[in-house]
Amino acid sequence: MKAAVMYKKGELPEYVDFPEPIAQNDDEILVTVKAVAIKNLDKGRASGTHYSSDAPKEGGRVVGGDGVCLLEDGTRVYGMAVTGMLSEKALISKDRIVKIPDGLDDVSAAALPNAIIGAAMGLRFKADIQAGDVVLVNGATSFTGRVAVQIAKHYGAKKVIVTGRNEESLKELLDLGADEIISVVQDDEHFIAQLKAIHAEGPIDVIIDYLWGHTAEMILGCLKGKGNFTNRIRYVSVGSITGDTIQLSAANMRSADLQLTGSGLGAWSREQVGILISEILPEMFQLAAEGKLKVETIIVKIEDIAELWNMKIPGGKRLVVTI
């Protein structure tokens, strides 16, 4: 079979002939792959920069962790790979399969899951989002951030505030459900003043953070109380695009009812991952099929993988490889 194979950590994948995988037990199913999204997670694992990455196996390893595929009977499903996914054939786990509704195309179905995981898992299990909550999405102009805005509104958020660098992308978020926008390009003084005014009017209940770094420091500083009763604030770190560490004042933690947590691989329970597969992904796929969850993609072919691996993707879009 043909596949995109990584031979050395950090190098470009190569489009080559590769042995077809063989199921090792009854929990593994051989499928025909149709579409695979290339995500920062995949690139991070391949380069060795993601905390879950390991060295490529001897003889090379197929890249890609999930995608849209066909079962033997022709049923279209989203599956999480046992072997790499960016190939003509792959092995997926029987307990990590979600049927794709007829109204949803392969490319959108491949693009959505990572963003749903990066948004819904934090909102539902870490932030315990409630109807009527005011939600701040820090770094909302990314592909996952745009999905998070829509899912927050679907889960009943009364107001969604978004931050980002690109003014045009921020304005587009207003059409996806955002209520207020804050530019991170403005100076710190104006950023803080705008956020404090919103929090005083709000207040903010949930923060889903894809940036971390300096913006996280400013946001946390705006949440610091003055000895009065405060609302329960759930701050969820999902990404760290602008920096992996911050300075956090102890007064921040003592002066407000602040819950600081993370959402990512290793942070969820088995039960929560089971709910992701059985409830969350099917629900979000159906919303997308009905046009209620919108995404933008760039479609490429697997044979061009080496040239496209480091392709710069416009903000808010996802690169999807078709096979």
Domains of the chain: 2-99+295-322 (3.90.180.10), 115-262 (3.40.50.720)
How far CA 295 is from CA of 42, 142, 218, 234, 287, in Å, comes to: 19, 11, 30, 27, 12
Helix (H, G, I), strand (E, B) or coil at 19: coil
Q: Confidence class of residue 227 from pLDDT cuts 50, 70 and 90?
A: confident
**Cα(230)–Cα(234) distance, rounded to whole angstroms?**
12
Whether residue 92 contacts residue 79, with contact meaning beta carbons closer than 8 Å, is answered with yes
Quote the pLDDT of residue 286.
Answer: 98
Under 8 Å between Cβ of 103 and 81: no
Radius of gyration of the chain (CA): 20
Distance CA 7, CA 14 (A): 8
What is the arithmetic mean of pLDDT over 190-196? 97
Where would I find the beta strands (DSSP E) of 55-154?
Answer: 61-62, 66-70, 76-81, 89-99, 134-138
Six-digit token pair at 306?
A: 């080496």
Taking only the tens place, the pLDDT of each residue in 200-225 is 998 999 999 999 999 999 999 999 88
Backbone angles phi, psi at 215, to 5 degrees: -65, -35
- Mean pLDDT for 292-308 is 93
Average pLDDT, the chain: 92
Three-state DSSP state, 120: helix
CA distance between the termini of the chain: 11
**With bands split at pLDDT 50, 70 and 90, how would you rate the model's confidence at 41?**
low
pLDDT of 47 reads 54
How far CA 163 is from CA of 69, 135, 136, 140, 197, in Å, comes to: 35, 11, 8, 6, 15
pLDDT of residue 50: 45
- The confidence score (pLDDT) of residue 313 equals 86
231: left (phi over 0), alpha (psi -120 to 50) or beta: beta
> Which tokens go with 292?
């209620």
